[in-house]
Every structure is written in C-alpha cells, then in structure tokens.
Amino acid sequence: MLRGAEGFGERAFKVLLKREMERLNDHLPKEYKTLDELLSMDSPSVEARDGGEIIFDRDELELIAQLIPKELYSQLRLPMVLLRRVDLGPGTFSLSGGKVEAYLALKLLGQADVSPDGVELPLYIYRPQVQELRRRLRTLIVIGFATDGALDVEDLGQVR
C-alpha cells in the first residue's frame, strides 16, 4: 500500500512539474512562419502561446537570408527555439525544429562545412554557443525550459 502512495505522489509531482513548465513557456511561439513569409511581411512577427506577439528584426532576417541558400527559405521556420534541458545538466540546450534550423544554428556558430542533410538531430548546444547565437539573433531566438521524463520535450516548441 505504501508503494501505491509513492506512485501517486510521483505522478502528482510530474503533473505539477508539467504545468509549471507550461506556464514558464507561455512566451514560446504558438505558430511559426517561414523565412519567405517573414521577409514578405511589413512587420514580421508570430503569435506567442500567451497571446502576445514575437516581433522580429528585419536586419536579422536579412542576415540569415544571406547565410542560407534561397531554396531553404520556405523550409526554415522561425523563431528558433532553444530549450534549456535541465535533465541534461547545467548549460545544456536542445534546438527544436528540423535539419534546416540546426543547419542555420551551426552556420551561425562558424561551421561553414556543414550541409542541411549532414546535420544530426537532436542538436545540443551549450551556454557559450547560446550566448553567441543570442548576440547575433536577439529577436529570432526564443529560450524555453524542458526536462525529459516529466513532460514531453517534443510538446515544447517543436517545429515538426
């Protein structure tokens, strides 16, 4: 009978943790738009989960347009979401999305020899790399929080 109580307590804790993580991630995007779509907008933005708006800097959009081939514009979905993975230790983040988003992150971090097809997912990056990405793209990157096991990481900011 004591085991059942422990099981209930553990389940209750996971539900509570999941709700808290969802609350912490209210600023994440509710929708994503392609680079093509954003470049064609007068005021490039997407809606956040909390109903707010994530507004993108046009200069940053034009910077990434110079970094990736034009045929990838319709595949790159923004904003880029970096999830602080508390389950993987201090300073570890995973990039949500697919190979095109990971390709862009690696290009921004100076890996010129990478190709979209050669990217391995999931892409894990660390605090110094996150700081470099945020320095270059302050409006196109959103930071979220996740922990595997207590909730589905895939539910937080996944593009595909």
Q: Does residue 107 form part of some domain?
A: yes
Strand, helix or coil at 131? Answer: helix
Q: Say if 103 falls within a structural domain.
A: yes
> What does the alpha-carbon distance between residue 154 and residue 160 come to, in Å, rounded to a whole number?
9
Q: What are the structure tokens assigned to 108, written together?
A: 């921004």
80 near 157, Cβ under 8 Å?
Answer: no
Domain that holds residue 22: 2-155
| pLDDT for the residue numbered 146 | 84
Cis peptide before 116 (omega within 30 of 0): no
- Given a contact cutoff of 8 angstroms between Cβ atoms, the answer to whether 136 and 119 are in contact is no
The answer to the question of residue 138 being in a domain is: yes
Q: Given this model, what pLDDT does residue 39 score?
A: 98
Give residue 89's region: left, alpha or beta (phi > 0; psi -120 to 50): left
Q: pTM for the full model?
A: 0.81
Number of domains within the chain: 1
The helices-and-strands tally (H runs, E runs) of the chain is 5, 8
Element containing residue 80 per DSSP (H, E): strand 80-85
Residue 160 within any structural domain of the chain:
no
Instruction: Quote the CA–CA distance of 152 and 128 in Å, as a whole number.
Output: 26
Q: Are 140 and 60 in contact (CB under 8 A)?
A: yes
- At 63 the pLDDT is 97
Residue type for 46, please? V
- Along the chain (160 residues), what's the average pLDDT of each consecutive run of 10 residues? 63 76 86 98 96 97 97 98 90 94 96 89 96 97 79 45
